[in-house]
Structure formats: C-alpha cells, structure tokens
Amino acid sequence: MRSRRSRSAAISDWRGSSWQRPWFLALVALVAGLGIYALYRHRVRNLVAVERVRTRIATDLHDDIGANLTRIAILSEVAQQRLGHSNGEDDLLPSIAEISRESVSAMGDIVWAIDPKKDKLEDLTRRMRQHAREILEQRDIRLDFNASAGAPELRLDANMRRNIYLIFKEALNNVVRHADASSVKIDLTVADSHFVFSIDDDGVGFDNGHEQDGNGLLSMKKRATDLGGMLDIDSVPGKGSRVSLRVPV
C-alpha cells in the first residue's frame, strides 16, 4: 500500500515540476521563436508585395498616362504652328498645351512619390534642389541652396515625401508669382528627429495680418498639419518673406 502511494507521489511530483525542466523550457522557447519568425516572414512578404504594387503603378503611370499627356502637349503645339500663331482669347490650343504640360509635371510628381526606389531623404533633397533650379533660374532669380549631410539614408514614406515636396513647390511658386524677388535662399536639415526646411526671399513681402487669396497658404498649412508638423510664414511688406516647415521623421 505504501509502495503504491509512494509511486503516485513520485509521479505527481514529476508532473508538477516538469514545466521547470530544461527540455520543457527549451521547447517553449522554440515554439515562441517559430511564432515570431512566422510573423516576421508574413510582414516581410506584405512589404515586398506593397513595394511591387508601388513599382507597377509608377511604371504604368509613367509609360501610359504620362506618355499620352506628352503627346497631347506636342500635338497641340504642332497644330497651333500649322494654324498660325493666334493670340486671341478664343484660341484654345495654347491652353490645351499648357494644361497638358502641367499634367505631365503633376504626373511626374506622383510617379516620383510612389516609387519605392526614391524613399531616401537624399532623393527628396535632390528633387527639391532640381525643382528650385528649374523654376528660379529661368526667371533670373539667384538661388542659394544649402542641404546638411545628416541622415541621407533616412527613409520617408510616400505620403510624407509627397506632402513635404508639394509644400515646398507651392512656397516656391508663391515666390515666383508674387514676390518679385531677385534672390532666394533655401536651407534643408535634419535635427532632433525633425526634417526642417526654410525658404527666404528678398521680394516685396506681404502683410501677414491679412488673409492671402489664391496662393495656397491654407493648403500648405493643412498638409503640414496632416504630417504632424508646423508651418511658419513670416513676411513684412518691402522686406521679403520666410517660409519654414518642421516635420517629425
């Protein structure tokens, strides 16, 4: 009788303490590791799939829609030349050509924004520099572009890159259209986990206390808010303007 009780007690002790044994702990660690690895592989597959979709969309937009818009612009200009250079208000061909060129430019921005190969900060900096040169130099506006070398490999998602770039473009468009400036200074940097850019011009400026119509300031501020950033616009009549954006990255 005692032997049976002793055997039962031993079996009970073995079962009660089995979870503390090395082989059991190793088994639990193995199962947990396999689960984590499976989740990691699933996430990687999803990221790869998203990048492939982005690449395909960018390629399709560039090859199909972008090419067709370019053809429209070229054909409109050719038709205008054949029909004569009319400057009348009822001449629609120049308007068609201009809209087509603007559409090609906008399409290029979209293709760039969703291209997974352009996710680095240095890609954004390069495109901003290129756009600033193109839009300012053709109007004889002197450009001083400074970009810090910090964090060039930093990756930015498509939405952030697109909104930062569109704020930048709108700010430069305002300079070209309204500032009557002779020089523009642009500074880009990354500091304290924030991407910061500022645009200073020596133009006519404007009264910051009055609401400005038709220059996209509200759209710029909304984009900055959507990014969790802050947009500051300072200007004094006759003393130029300064636009600065600070976005967490």
Does the pLDDT at position 228 exceed 60? yes
Would you say the pTM of this structure is higher than 0.85?
no
In this prediction, residues 211-220 reach a mean pLDDT of 67
At residue 91 the predicted structure's pLDDT band, cuts being 50, 70 and 90, is low
Euclidean distance between CA atoms 87 and 150, whole angstroms: 50
pLDDT, tens digit, for every residue of 160-179? 888 899 899 989 988 988 88
At residue 14 the predicted structure's pLDDT band, cuts being 50, 70 and 90, is very low
Q: What separation in angstroms does the CA of 70 have from each of 75, 77, 130, 241?
A: 9, 11, 20, 35
In this prediction, residues 145-160 reach a mean pLDDT of 82
Can you give the pLDDT at residue 191?
84
Which stretch of 21-25, 109-113, 139-143, 183-187 has the lowest confidence by average pLDDT? 21-25
Can you give the pLDDT at residue 44?
61
Non-local CB neighbours of 126 within 8 Å, separated by 6+ positions: none
Does the pLDDT at position 188 exceed 90? yes
At 50, the amino acid letter reads: V
pLDDT, tens digit, for every residue of 127-140? 999 999 989 988 89
At residue 21 the predicted structure's pLDDT band, cuts being 50, 70 and 90, is low
Which has more pLDDT, 163 or 84? Answer: 163
Report the share of the chain in percent with pLDDT over 90.
Answer: 22
Which has more pLDDT, 248 or 87? Answer: 248
DSSP 8-state secondary structure symbol assigned to residue 85: -
In this prediction, residues 108-125 reach a mean pLDDT of 81
Q: Taking all residues of the chain, what is their mean pLDDT, rounded to a whole number?
A: 76
Most confident of 24-38, 44-58, 153-167: 153-167
Q: Listing from the earlier edge strand, what are the strands of the sheet with 142-147?
A: 142-147, 183-191, 194-201, 241-248, 230-235
In this prediction, residues 10-35 reach a mean pLDDT of 63
Q: What separation in angstroms does the CA of 236 have from each of 84, 98, 179, 207, 215?
A: 46, 33, 11, 6, 16
* Three-state secondary structure string covering 194-213: EEEEEEEECCCCCCCCCCCC
Decide: residue 189, CB within 10 A, 0-12 exposed, 13-18 middle, 19+ buried: middle
Does the pLDDT at position 48 exceed 70? no
Alpha helices in the chain (DSSP H): 2-17, 22-60, 67-83, 93-114, 121-137, 158-174, 217-226
- CATH architecture, domain 119-249: 2-Layer Sandwich (3.30)
Does the pLDDT at position 187 exceed 60? yes
Decide: residue 101, CB within 10 A, 0-12 exposed, 13-18 middle, 19+ buried: middle
CATH 3.30.565.10 segments of the chain: 119-249
